[in-house]
């Protein structure tokens, strides 16, 4: 212990990592020894959710401690500036902390520091938004100018290949190194808040070859299937688009895509050892509170679906691990906590643990303490694509306003959401109760879909498959830099 009166705080964000994809969570294949060890030092929250499982809205919740209703985005608005709310980094700085970040912030403009002293950014190939990307600068300095995406893989699909440049240039390695350097360059007289934000395992699926190889010999679990997801025509309207957007992978194609995804997870897990080792050798590991979470998950082919946005568990349930400083007794080591928590709880939790006053604008609750919620509300998208969710300690109800389609799952007995109980007569009272609860959370244009306190929804439009003219937002050669475009244009990836 350094004897520092205030703790350092390290917030680790991964991208598109499902909550069950950890060895400590019982996954039969994934290798996450570092994260598993982290969980052994603190608490793992088993019912942690992304309130809006889309990149930008989720990160706004983390950085402002608010839900989409307060911060203003439940869709994905790459040109929307951060709301005029206190941020996590600025609140730490106001309390005397130094605040530094490495990786993806997903804000506009991309050089908005949102309260940090400084941030080294890696924004997934978005020069059209006007940013000078630090990772791109690094690649250029290594002699690989503009070659970030010459592997040919896309940020929004599940084709894969090994990383095409030297190992040390992989984005995961760069971020771990830069965070280690940030830690070494800290002012030793002041506590620090560090934010390490990885891009992966979010596609593009470009793992280092040796990380893919470690999964090549493993039997990969198949996708979850269900009666409710078997018929394309019977799917809730908002799930029909994703069903047709990605080719349905099967057999070894799906297994290899998952191997590539898992490989990127394990690479991140191992890279964290560089960061934790640096904290240890600098003598500050025991004085550092550590939290690890993700902005959302990935369906990874379960129920024939991929990526995020859905309120199903694969998309909305996220890892959430919290470790206190070594001499504290607020958290039992190797414990789990089943309370309902979300990303808007990250800010009040970390501030509370650092004994910093939580701004009155915050919607979330500290995850350490007696205050707990009975209901968790989530939302995604608007109009015909809208999806809304409430869950209590046992049941989850998902409402798709287009077609007034309801799903009900018993998560105690069916975490994979195989059996839809919405039309089961024995669960009628549960459905009615949760529908009433959900109606009370609605706001804005959603209120047009409620009559007399009842969910009535809207007529589902005729479904049409849209041509994929952008090749899923494919990136190309980035030297010279692509021309700047309208930041609201659909050039980047969610």
Q: Determine the pLDDT at residue 493.
A: 43
- How many alpha carbons lie under 13 Å from residue 288 in its C-beta half-sphere? 24
* pLDDT tens digits for range 227-282: 999 999 999 999 999 999 988 898 999 999 999 999 999 999 999 999 999 999 99
In-domain check, residue 442: no
Could you give the number of structural domains in the chain? Answer: 1
How far is residue 201's CA from residue 204's CA, in Å, rounded to a whole number?
A: 8
Alpha helices in 124-192 (DSSP H): 134-141, 171-184
Q: Determine the pLDDT at residue 492.
A: 42
What's the whole-number mean pLDDT along residues 125-136?
88
How far is residue 466's CA from residue 489's CA, in Å, rounded to a whole number?
A: 17
- How many alpha carbons lie under 13 Å from residue 412 in its C-beta half-sphere? 4
Q: Determine the pLDDT at residue 486.
A: 65
| DSSP annotation of 132 | -
In-domain check, residue 36: yes
462, pLDDT greater than 70: yes
In-domain check, residue 151: yes
* pLDDT tens digits for range 7-38: 999 999 999 999 999 999 999 999 999 999 99
Contact status, residue 387 vs residue 51, Cβ threshold 8 Å? no
Would you say the pTM of this structure is higher than 0.95?
yes
SS3 state at 228: helix
* pLDDT tens digits for range 144-191: 999 999 999 999 999 999 999 999 999 999 999 999 999 999 999 999
- How many alpha carbons lie under 13 Å from residue 334 in its C-beta half-sphere? 2
Contact status, residue 9 vs residue 196, Cβ threshold 8 Å? no
Which domain covers residue 151, as residue numbers?
A: 8-370
How far is residue 288's CA from residue 173's CA, in Å, rounded to a whole number?
A: 22
Nearest in space to 470 (alpha carbons), one of 448, 446, 493: 493
- Which of these ranges, 142-156, 196-210, 316-330, 469-483, has the smallest mean pLDDT? 469-483
Q: Determine the pLDDT at residue 491.
A: 43
Q: Determine the pLDDT at residue 489.
A: 54
- The partner residues of 317 in beta bridges, in order of sequence, read 49
In-domain check, residue 97: yes
| DSSP annotation of 494 | -
Q: Determine the pLDDT at residue 85.
A: 98
In-domain check, residue 355: yes
In-domain check, residue 161: yes
In-domain check, residue 221: yes
Q: Determine the pLDDT at residue 108.
A: 94
In-domain check, residue 98: yes
Tokens of 90: 């600025």
How far is residue 439's CA from residue 463's CA, in Å, rounded to a whole number?
A: 26
Q: What percent of the chain has pLDDT over 90?
A: 92
Q: Determine the pLDDT at residue 87.
A: 98
The rounded radius of gyration (Å) of the Cα atoms in the chain is 22
Tokens of 397: 């109800």
CATH number assigned to the domain comprising residue 359: 3.40.720.10
Q: Determine the pLDDT at residue 131.
A: 82
Q: What percent of the chain has pLDDT over 70?
A: 97
The whole-chain average pLDDT of the chain stands at 95
443, pLDDT greater than 90: yes
Contact status, residue 226 vs residue 420, Cβ threshold 8 Å? yes
Work out the widest C-alpha separation in the chain, in whole angstroms.
65
| DSSP annotation of 175 | H
């Amino acid at each position: 212990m350094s004897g520092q009166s205030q703790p350092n705080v390290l917030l680790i964000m991964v991208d598109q990592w499902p909550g069950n994809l950890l060895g400590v969570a019982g996954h039969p294949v994934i290798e996450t020894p570092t994260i598993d060890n982290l969980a052994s030092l603190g608490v793992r929250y088993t019912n942690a959710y992304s309130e809006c499982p889309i990149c930008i809205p989720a990160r706004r919740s983390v950085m402002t401690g608010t839900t989409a209703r307060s911060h203003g985005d439940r869709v994905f608005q790459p040109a929307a500036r951060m709301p005029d709310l206190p941020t996590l980094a600025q609140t730490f700085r106001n309390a005397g902390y130094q605040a530094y970040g490495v990786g993806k912030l997903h804000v506009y403009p991309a050089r908005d520091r949102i309260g940090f002293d400084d941030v080294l950014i890696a924004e997934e190939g978005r020069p059209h938004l006007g940013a000078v990307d630090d990772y791109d600068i690094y690649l250029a300095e290594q002699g690989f100018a503009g070659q970030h995406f010459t592997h040919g893989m896309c940020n929004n699909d599940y084709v894969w290949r090994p990383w095409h440049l030297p190992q040390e240039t992989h984005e995961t390695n760069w971020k771990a190194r830069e965070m280690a350097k940030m830690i070494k360059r800290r002012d030793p007289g002041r506590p620090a808040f560090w934010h390490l934000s990885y891009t992966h395992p979010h596609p593009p699926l470009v793992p280092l070859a040796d990380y893919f190889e470690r999964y090549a010999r493993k039997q990969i679990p198949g996708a979850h299937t269900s009666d409710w997801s078997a018929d394309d025509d019977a799917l809730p309207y908002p799930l029909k688009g994703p069903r047709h957007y990605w080719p349905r992978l099967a057999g070894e194609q799906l297994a290899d895509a998952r191997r590539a995804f898992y490989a990127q997870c394990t690479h991140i897990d191992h890279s964290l050892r560089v960061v934790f080792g640096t904290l240890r050798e600098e003598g500050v590991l025991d004085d550092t509170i550590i939290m690890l979470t993700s902005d959302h998950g990935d369906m990874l082919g379960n129920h024939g679906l991929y990526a995020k946005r859905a309120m199903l568990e694969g998309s909305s349930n996220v890892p959430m691990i919290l470790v206190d400083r070594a001499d504290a007794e607020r958290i039992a080591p190797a414990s789990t906590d089943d309370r309902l928590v979300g990303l808007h709880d990250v800010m009040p939790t970390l501030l509370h643990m650092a004994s910093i006053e939580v701004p009155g604008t915050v919607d979330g609750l500290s995850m350490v303490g007696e205050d707990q919620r009975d209901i968790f509300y989530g939302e995604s998208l608007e109009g015909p694509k809208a999806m809304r969710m409430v869950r209590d300690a046992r049941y989850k109800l998902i409402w798709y306003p287009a077609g007034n389609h309801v799903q009900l799952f018993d998560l105690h007995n069916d975490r994979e959401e195989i059996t839809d109980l919405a039309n089961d007569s024995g669960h009628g009272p549960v459905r009615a109760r949760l529908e009433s609860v959900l109606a009370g959370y609605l706001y804005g244009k959603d209120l047009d879909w409620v009559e007399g306190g009842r969910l009535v929804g809207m007529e589902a439009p005729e479904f049409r498959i849209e041509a994929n003219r952008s090749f899923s937002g494919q990136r190309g050669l980035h030297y010279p830099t692509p021309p700047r475009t309208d930041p609201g244009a659909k050039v980047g990836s969610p």
